[in-house]
Amino acid sequence: MEISYTKKYIRIYFFQVLSILLGFASLFVVIPYLSANKSIYGIYSVCISMTVFLSYADLGFLGAGMKYAAECFSKGDMEGEIRLVGFSHFILSIFIIFFSVFFLFLAVNPSLLVKDIGVGYQKDVATKLLLILGIFSPAIVLQRILQMIFGIRVQDYLLQRILIIANLIKLVSVFYFFGSGRYDIVGYFLFTQVISLISYIYGFTVAKRVFGYNFKFLIKCFKFSRTIFKRTKGLAVSGLVVTVSWLAYYESDSFAISKLLGADKVAVYAIGFSILTFFRTLLGVFFSPFSSRFNHFIGVGKVQELQSFYLHVIKIAIPVVVFPIIAVTIFARPIVVSWVGPEYEESIAIVRWLVLCNLLGFISYPAGILIVAHEKLKLIYNLSILTPIVYWIGVVLTIPLLGIEAFAVFKMIVFVITGFFYSIYSFNYLQINPRHFIFKILGPYLPAAVALIIIMLSVNGLFVDGKNRLNLFLNAVLLLFGLGTAMLISIFTVKSLRDYLQSIVKLVFSKAFSR
């Protein structure tokens, strides 16, 4: 890795770690307040789940635009980059408007979204949440523009600093909207949307000041372009297929559960899904800087450098992905009980299955990025068609036996299947066989994994039963102790990890002493 980009990674990870810690705090501070009213929390979870459609409203053109814009940036083609940013977000804005109108329609008819919502307080809450969602939906366009501008330059940390402050304000606001007999979930949601909008607006001023970004030209390019459409449509269509597939088997659970089983079951499932979302955020944070770098290498034709860099990413990702998943899977009961209380005991099994979804994330995340970067459209299509079919057939066949747990079990099965295909693709790309990968790359991490399992099983019975912040804190300390021990052992047993961490330490100290 080039020194300049290593410095950027360090800065990104520093602020991402702060963001993760803040997200961790939000997860374990905010959710207990929200989940105090199980039915309302279920309704809130369903309404918030609607925001997922905003994340995929670009029909795949945002991902394609990001790839080609990063290639333009690597070549110094600023005009080409801005044209791609403008076109892709114009497509996004069109469909955001449609979704915004759809949310406003649901606000008038919330019973279409939640089973047996009835009338009165629950319906009023659902109506107001959906109304706020419909009004603030266009802000997603501003967010995505900023993410692309900063991400292409691998300077996400500049945007992260802004969002960290915004999220900190949201976290503190919980104590105003909840507690002491107050449960203003609508006011809290409205406040968070306003804070997000303000942070995006400030982000544009930072991009203008730091990069000298030509927003006037971006506004001119905020339109349909036949030339760019022809360039991006192939990758965009594959992205659309992936989006539809992802929505079908990953993001549709809450809606299906709300219509089939009711709001209370959505609340039970939402606990596990919140932890899965946290893991997704953590992994997205870790792998996000590498996406643009993959495209930079491709843009300038550095094939061997990309291959070496790809293997390096996988090696350092193993402990980041696998160790937390092992720890949370074993320690699920103490976490859930001390977090949201024994009334959510049904969520414990859900947590375990959903956390295990990302066990192969150390290879599936970078492989997914690489497949898109290399435009392997056939593989993308095949996996996208297979996953929702397997998922929904499994859920339909087993829901009479497993109940709500069927959704979590088959979500994990689908992730394992895709992880298997991503592994095969990676082995072929790196020109190594599975045996070599298992013994030479995974093997050195085995002592740390075994030690982690022993530690977590040993302390699993030490937690105090009952919903309590002190218990939750103590459980978190025990979990972090296990993770810290496993990471320390890995530093001694895995040379590539040790060398990488040493290079980072040297870089940080050399920079500090040079000032």
Does some domain include residue 41? Answer: yes
Q: 262 with 330, same domain?
A: yes
Does some domain include residue 244? Answer: no
Q: Give me the pLDDT at residue 13, please.
A: 64
Does some domain include residue 91? Answer: yes
Residue 155 binned pLDDT confidence (cut-offs 50, 70, 90): confident
DSSP-derived secondary structure for 336-370: HHHHH-GGGTTHHHHHHHHHGGGTTHHHHHHHHHH
Q: 267 with 228, same domain?
A: no
Q: 347 with 211, same domain?
A: no
For residue 64, pLDDT over 60 is answered with: yes
Mean pLDDT value across the chain: 81
Q: Give me the pLDDT at residue 379, please.
A: 75
Q: 487 with 428, same domain?
A: yes
Instruction: Between 360 and 251, name the one with better pLDDT.
Output: 360
Residue 387 binned pLDDT confidence (cut-offs 50, 70, 90): confident
Does some domain include residue 245? Answer: no
Query: Given 181, 208, 239, which residue is the final one in a domain?
Result: 239
- Each residue of 170-208: pLDDT tens digit? 888 888 888 677 778 888 889 989 999 999 999 999 999
Query: Given 239, 271, 302, which residue is the final one in a domain?
Result: 239
| CA pair distance 396, 411, nearest whole angstrom | 13
Q: Which residues pair with 183 in a beta bridge?
A: 178
Q: 219 with 285, same domain?
A: no
Range of the domain at 227: 1-239
The string over 332-361, giving b where at least 16 C-beta atoms fall within 10 Å of a residue's C-beta and e elsewhere, is bbbbbbbbbeeebebbbbbbbbbbbbbbbb
Domain count for the chain, please give it: 2
Q: For 378-404, what is the mean pLDDT?
A: 85
- Each residue of 405-456: pLDDT tens digit? 999 999 999 999 989 998 998 998 888 888 989 988 898 999 999 999 998 8
Q: Give me the pLDDT at residue 238, please.
A: 67
3-state SS, residue 178: strand
Q: 290 with 396, same domain?
A: yes
| Model pTM score | 0.67
Q: 222 with 298, same domain?
A: no
Residue 352 binned pLDDT confidence (cut-offs 50, 70, 90): very high
Does some domain include residue 419? Answer: yes
Q: Give me the pLDDT at residue 205, please.
A: 94
| CA pair distance 187, 345, nearest whole angstrom | 29
| CA pair distance 411, 41, nearest whole angstrom | 23
Instruction: Between 378 and 316, name the one with better pLDDT.
Output: 316
For residue 92, pLDDT over 90 is answered with: no
Does some domain include residue 382? Answer: yes
Q: For 160-166, what is the mean pLDDT?
A: 87
Q: 26 with 87, same domain?
A: yes
Query: For 430, phi and psi rounded to 5 degrees?
Result: -85, -10
| CA pair distance 301, 339, nearest whole angstrom | 50
Residue 3 binned pLDDT confidence (cut-offs 50, 70, 90): very low
| CA pair distance 131, 134, nearest whole angstrom | 5
Q: Give me the pLDDT at residue 512, please.
A: 47
Query: Given 239, 266, 301, which residue is the final one in a domain?
Result: 239
Q: 51 with 112, same domain?
A: yes
Residue 270 binned pLDDT confidence (cut-offs 50, 70, 90): confident
Q: 235 with 279, same domain?
A: no
Q: Is 127:110 a contact under the CB 8 Å cutoff?
A: yes
Q: Give me the pLDDT at residue 460, please.
A: 72
Q: 21 with 169, same domain?
A: yes
Q: For 365-384, what is the mean pLDDT?
A: 78
Does some domain include residue 365? Answer: yes
Q: 305 with 167, same domain?
A: no
Does some domain include residue 247? Answer: no
For residue 40, pLDDT over 80 is answered with: no
